[in-house]
Amino acid sequence: MSRLSSSFNKSVGCAAFTFFLLVISVLPALAVENIATYPPLPAGYSSIRVFDNQGRFVGRILTENRYWVSIDRIPVFLQKAVVAVEDSRFYEHGGIDVRGIARAVVKDVVKGRMAEGGSTITQQLVKNKFLSGEKTIDRKIEEARLALEFEKKYTKSQILEMYFNEIYYGNGAWGIAQAARLYFDKNPEELTDGECALLAGVQKAPGRYNPLGKSADVVKRRDVVLKRMVELKMITRRQQQALRDHPPTVTQASQVPYYIAHVRNNLVERFGQQIIEQGCLEVTAALDLNLQKQAEKALRDGVKRISPSLQGALICLDPATGDVLAAVGGVDSAKNSYDRAFVAQRQPGSSIKPFIYAAALEQGVTAGSIWNDTPVAYNQGNGQDWKPLNYGGERYGDLTLRQALAHSNNVVTVKLLDKIGVPYFVNFAGKVGLPLRTQNLSLALGTEEVTLKDLVLAYTPLANGGSRPVPRTIIRVFDRNRGTWTENPPAVTTVLAPATAFVTTQMLKDVLVYGTAKGLKKFSQERPAAGKTGTTNDYRDAWFVGYTPQMVTGIWVGYDKPRPGGKGFTGGGVAAPIWGQFMRSALTGKPARDFVKPDTVVSVSIDPATGFLATPACPTKRDEFYIPGTEPTEFCPKHGGDTVKPSPAVSSPSDADGDEEEGGNERAKDE
């Protein structure tokens, strides 16, 4: 009984509204200004197509501007199809189709719900352009008034032209110009009948029926369009069947949206915004599509294994050229397009420490020098002291600088920064591509925010013998209109002494052997690799930047709204495993190469417990690397050094990792 009552009420309401429309049709209509238009679509416009470094298509860059398409550039088939399915009496009514409304009322009553509306094309146009989408009587009255005025002011052809240029086609495409380009990479006049049939069905539900939607839904809606055209004798049944049997190919969506967005930004930076509106370009990107897909999978799988709400980012560079081989700004670009690789800034934690150690090497400090990690208080200048502690509060006592870096020792790093001076380090960091503004010792703990892109770029001189490349996402651009190429060759600058880069790298190898990323020890045994973890306070951000001679890859994992990730949420525990998964697949088929030792590096055998030259009596020995003139010249006094004659340093290659006894306390603690 209640259902019948509800249906009756709806039918009465609809009938009353229909009568009201008849009444207002004789009332004075509201004044309507000329509808706003957009610049006309340039003849021969084409999108910017992007290919990877192997020539594989990866996506397109579309204009953000809306362009106006005159009715003569809109296929007649598309005009007929839209009229058939949206407003079959378009050329007969005066803006409001009373018969259509009455028909809708009957269907609503039969189905017991608001199953069908009676809006004309003109009403849809004025609603999209001037009104909100709320379903109220007031809005419908306003819509009807404007529709009546439009019909008096404009011809049917003009109204249809406005309609095609104003309606939404889904996926950010407003108007037929953007829709034709997005879904078929064509101008409207180039659309086939099959493509027109797909686009004609979109208006009913753009999110569901757009050509990139679920195939079954899109095809079903297209068939409704074709069936209606047959009923109105616009096409024959034979034409209908032919169109159903030969569906059009929808242009592939961009496979790498984060990377495409960065290519677009680079084009604008180099050539200005007008280059996007000009179109007709083919861009060869530095991207390796296979690596990109591997990066996306490694990041997605690694992050989601921890938490579905967690986010991450990955960047992989060729250290020799600066080519951005892969860049992933998040775990799901479809749900969230924010770029955490190039844009987001977070505290890097201990992943900044290698640059403090490299700066110290250039001031004569050595990897084999002995440091003590007893905490020291520093005056902050405000009457308060700052006393940095190691992560977890542990103490190692005396240890070499190499060991301090491997264990990510906070106390030693602060002491080291204090020794070389903050201004010196800030200048040094700027040379390697890491802009810093902080002017206090807290820099040693990675408190200043950086982007993943800048951090990974700063590591490239360590992998590349001291040379820093400019990051490159575009290799060359071809202008299809002019038939000309614009090359973008690599740009590389020497920023570190080769010896500094090499010795720092040898120290960072130990991070993967017994240090904070010792979970990657097996990887480091298969391929020479170096890197550094980073974990910020309260486990908020987890980092790992690691490299081989062929690739530098950085990983960040965290929450968009920073919050603790829980105990164990460290660079070594979270980010390093993702790095390992990606790098294993990325380097498959590539030869294992070691870092080339420059002639300016010498190697001597030392006792790591004292930092002096090893004697035959020293229980532990390791070959350590030095910049010439900084190597020890005296033998270990604890093990009979007074009785051994000094010998010249040797510069032959040696095992940078030392014997297994050297590791000492192998607890992998990150700050």
Q: Which residues carry out catalysis?
A: 86, 350
Q: How far apart are CA 79 and CA 646, in angstroms?
A: 94
Q: Could you tell me which of 171, 207, 304, 299 has the C-alpha nearest to residue 556?
A: 299
Inter-axis angle of helices 353-362 and 498-509, nearest 10: 140
Q: How far apart are CA 11 and CA 100, in angstroms?
A: 15
Q: How far apart are CA 295 and CA 298, in angstroms?
A: 5
Q: How far apart are CA 324 and CA 289, in angstroms?
A: 11
Copy the structure tokens of residue 190: 């180039």
CA distances in angstroms from 368 to 403, 436, 627, listed in the order given: 9, 28, 12
Q: Could you tell me which of 545, 508, 530 has the C-alpha nearest to residue 357?
A: 508
Q: Residue type at 212?
A: L
Given a contact cutoff of 8 angstroms between Cβ atoms, the answer to whether 388 and 373 are in contact is no
Q: How far apart are CA 355 and CA 238, in angstroms?
A: 73
Given a contact cutoff of 8 angstroms between Cβ atoms, the answer to whether 97 and 87 are in contact is yes
Instruction: State the SS3 of 240-263.
Output: HHHHHHCCCCCCCCCCCHHHHHHH
Residues in the chain: 671
CA distances in angstroms from 616 to 165, 570, 639, listed in the order given: 86, 41, 8
Q: How far apart are CA 197 and CA 649, in angstroms?
A: 80
Q: Could you tell me which of 369, 359, 363, 353 has the C-alpha nearest to residue 625?
A: 369
Neighbouring CB atoms inside 10 A of 612's CB total: 22
Given a contact cutoff of 8 angstroms between Cβ atoms, the answer to whether 340 and 597 are in contact is no
Sheet containing strand 324-328, edge to edge, reads 324-328, 311-317, 552-558, 541-547, 530-535
Q: How far apart are CA 140 and CA 333, in angstroms?
A: 38
Q: How far apart are CA 348 and CA 536, in angstroms?
A: 7
Q: Residue type at 200?
A: A
* Segments in 363-421 forming alpha helices (H): 401-406, 410-420
Q: Which residues of 316-342 are buried (b: 16+ CB within 10 A; e: fewer)?
A: bbbbbbbbbbbbbbbbebeeeeebbbb
Q: Residue type at 408?
A: S
Q: Is 217 exposed, middle or buried (0-12, 13-18, 19+ CB in 10 A)?
A: middle
Given a contact cutoff of 8 angstroms between Cβ atoms, the answer to whether 335 and 304 are in contact is no
